[in-house]
Structure 1
Amino acid sequence: MKLRIDKIIILLLTLSLFGSLLSGCVSNDVKSETPLTKSNYLLGTQINITLYDNQKDEIIDEAFQRISEIEAKMSINSENPSEITKLNEASGIQEVKLSEDTFYVLEKGKYYSQLSNGEFDITIGPVVKLWNIGTPNAAIPDEAILSEKLDLVDYNKLSLNKDKYTAKLELSGMIVDLGGIAKGYAADEVYTILKNRGVNHAIINLGGNIMALGTNVNKQPWKIGIQDPYYPRNDYLGIVEVVDKAVVTSGIYERYFEKDGVRYHHILDPQTGFPADNGLAGVSIITDKSIDADGLSTSVFLLGLDKGMDLIENLDNTEAIFVTTNKEIYLTSGIKGNFILVNKEYKLMN
């Protein structure tokens, strides 16, 4: 499943935490000095799950199995047709029966499409395929063809029937793209598995889509680095402290190509079909559920600073960090005491 991998946040363990792990001076519920980490490649990205207590291989294996199930249902690139593949192939023809997993993710995707007034639109697939950003075939599309594909982008023409768990794309050629939300759902499912298996301290990292379970082993907030949108992955501009939260970023830095000195990133505006150009370089969302952070990060990026700030300030238990193209940082009211700026190239504005 080729999902957007722009949502990059670097996990930072403080020196004090690292020292405590080495020395064995950890809280009583931690059974081992060294955390257990296992990796896998699923959902089109590198996944790392790290347990700091109740360290059992079978717990992580169960989590990976759950992610594999989600991938099989929602992938559009696997050998065996997924539910989403069947939905796209049936566009303009008939409704398709879905599992509860896939229906829920589509329902969430349509919700955020509505919440953002179409700035985030899960039916943007035809335009995404036209640009091919992130592949060797990336190119600026022909204007006439782009206009035709834009006519197929309309989340209102995705019909969902919860009584029957069916969906239908009303126009032939419509394509659902779950790249802005499916990883978030998978992270939430892993979180649930770990909690049910008695894990109290863990980090779930789906290609930079971070879910922090509980606190660190010293019972202090996790410290998560926020990606600098003008530098390669693993360069961070600031640190946010979180407990039991998802942290997800959308930005201009991960997938792009350059043509005649212009950079074209992959966050496409459903209104124009071109990469969004609204003065934002990155948006990080901090909230309880990863699927919500995933949907909101793209939605808010496309809405821009002012509308995006207004939206987040009116949502419960949700905060945001906005990074502009002129290297200014704006914070929503609830995160100001938990963010530390470390890169002095940036200016904290509020």
Structure 2
Amino acid sequence: MPKTCSEAGAPLTRLQLHGPAMGTRWSVGCDAPAGMDHKALHAALQAAVAQVDAQMSPYKPDSDLLRLNRAPAGAWIDLPTEMLQVLARALEVCRLSGGAFEPAVGALVDAWGFGAARDAPDAQAIHAARAAHAAPRPPTHQALELDLPAGRARKHAPLQLDLCGIAKGYAVDRMCDMLQRHGVRHALAALDGELRALGPQADGAPWAVALESPLEGRRSAQGVIELQDLAVATSGDYRRFVRVGQTRLAHSMDGRRGAPVNNGVASVTVLAPNCMDADAWATALLVAGPGEGLALAQRLGLEALWLLRRGGALVQLGLGRFGGA
């Protein structure tokens, strides 16, 4: 039976909603007005996530992302407003991070077995993808031109884009937009390792979120963080990976090396006002590594927690609210 409480005399009901999305599942816990149409809210949340997937999936042949990837350099391509917003932020984080966050790694992702093309590394494909990625061209934030007022984009060089490092965070933000449109002021929305809180819980308590321990094969909590009007995202090497001999290669791609991340960082967790930023910066800091990533986060004032693999143990390094780590 749903939990009930009240706000300014109006009864609220605790709802737990969830559904499939983007190869995983979304979930929402919220304190909603008792008379709300729960089915309509669920349908709206499912539609919001499905729209992001339809536009930005590297697995759906008819997605807007793959349509842009297939387009020849120099051709303007009409794109949805939502995707242009994500592309704009992806290019900005790419620029600010010096390429640690790199949206133009689609060919590398496929070649190393993490995309739609194959499920294991292919030496020939890796060589071709590395050569194409290393070919002289402007930086990605210059090689992809966005015309936001006209709703279009064009490539000035061959690019195969992949938005998996930012799209799930954006999908969480879209869920939060939908919750607010339905009058929900107290909610926790989640999609995989990306979460965002709207306000506190109705009783005034913050939302408690477990930070996952980067242990292979099982899930346990490394700690707990309390969220209120705040988003959190984690990127790590422990959920999706391939093994090459005795080496475990994480799914996050370092475009500067043309290879998966392999820098001793088990995970990076980032706090931000919105989940799109938290998602993108968690990816960027994971790729950048503990040295460059720490300097980058300090320069930009990011709040982040690194879990580093050191001699069979985990070492914590934190900034901002994670500074006591």
Q: Give the TM-score of the pair, scaled to structure 1.
A: 0.81
The equivalent of 1:84 in structure 2 is 65
Q: Which whole-Å CA distance do the structure 2 matches of 1:328 and 1:106 have between them?
A: 34
The equivalent of 1:43 in structure 2 is 22
The equivalent of 2:203 in structure 1 is 218
The equivalent of 1:307 in structure 2 is 292
The equivalent of 1:106 in structure 2 is 87
Does structure 2 conserve the Cα–Cα contact (< 8 Å) formed by 1:134 and 1:256?
no
The residue identity in structure 2 corresponding to 1:165 is G
Change (3 A) 1:104 1:28: closer
Does structure 1 conserve the Cα–Cα contact (< 8 Å) formed by 2:113 and 2:122?
no
The equivalent of 2:315 in structure 1 is 328
The equivalent of 2:231 in structure 1 is 246
The equivalent of 1:67 in structure 2 is 49
The equivalent of 2:78 in structure 1 is 97
SS at match of 2:253: coil
The residue identity in structure 1 corresponding to 2:145 is S
Q: Which whole-Å CA distance do the structure 1 matches of 2:121 and 2:84 have between them?
A: 33
Q: Which whole-Å CA distance do the structure 2 matches of 1:76 and 1:209 have between them?
A: 19
- Could you tell which deviates more after superposition, 194-203 or 182-191? 194-203
Report how far residue 118 of structure 1 moved: 0.8
Does structure 1 conserve the Cα–Cα contact (< 8 Å) formed by 2:28 and 2:188?
yes
The residue identity in structure 2 corresponding to 1:287 is A
Q: Which whole-Å CA distance do the structure 2 matches of 1:69 and 1:147 have between them?
A: 32
1:128-277 matches, cutoff 5 A: 128-133=109-114, 137-139=119-121, 141-142=123-124, 144-151=127-134, 154-155=139-140, 156-172=142-158, 174-232=159-217, 234-277=219-262
Report how far residue 90 of structure 1 moved: 0.5
Please, what is the CA RMSD of the aligned residues?
2.4
Change (3 A) 1:123 1:134: closer
Report how far residue 146 of structure 1 moved: 4.0
Report how far residue 308 of structure 1 moved: 2.0
Q: Which whole-Å CA distance do the structure 1 matches of 2:168 and 2:105 have between them?
A: 17
Q: Which whole-Å CA distance do the structure 1 matches of 2:67 and 2:129 have between them?
A: 24
The residue identity in structure 2 corresponding to 1:132 is G
- Please, which runs of 5 or more residues in structure 1 have no aligned partner? 1-20, 338-347
The residue identity in structure 1 corresponding to 2:208 is K
Q: Give the TM-score of the pair, scaled to structure 2.
A: 0.87
Q: Deviations over 1:137-170 (max 9, x none)?
A: 3125346324323236851311222342221222
Report how far residue 94 of structure 1 moved: 1.2
SS at match of 1:296: helix
Q: Deviations over 1:104-153 (max 9, x none)?
A: 11101101110111111101101001111378731253463243232368
Q: Does 1:119 align with 2:88?
A: no
Does structure 1 conserve the Cα–Cα contact (< 8 Å) formed by 2:109 and 2:115?
no
Q: Which whole-Å CA distance do the structure 2 matches of 1:42 and 1:89 have between them?
A: 24
The residue identity in structure 1 corresponding to 2:28 is I
The residue identity in structure 2 corresponding to 1:332 is L
4+ residue runs of structure 1 moved beyond 6 angstroms?
none
Q: Which of the pair is proportionally richer in strand?
A: 2
SS at match of 1:52: strand
The residue identity in structure 1 corresponding to 2:105 is I
Does structure 2 conserve the Cα–Cα contact (< 8 Å) formed by 1:127 and 1:149?
no
Identical pairs, percent: 26
- Please, which runs of 5 or more residues in structure 2 have no aligned partner? none
The residue identity in structure 2 corresponding to 1:141 is A
Change (3 A) 1:140 1:229: farther
Does structure 1 conserve the Cα–Cα contact (< 8 Å) formed by 2:249 and 2:262?
no
- Could you tell which deviates more after superposition, 41-50 or 163-172? 163-172
Does structure 1 conserve the Cα–Cα contact (< 8 Å) formed by 2:306 and 2:317?
yes
Change (3 A) 1:58 1:90: same
- Could you tell which deviates more after superposition, 288-297 or 48-57? 48-57
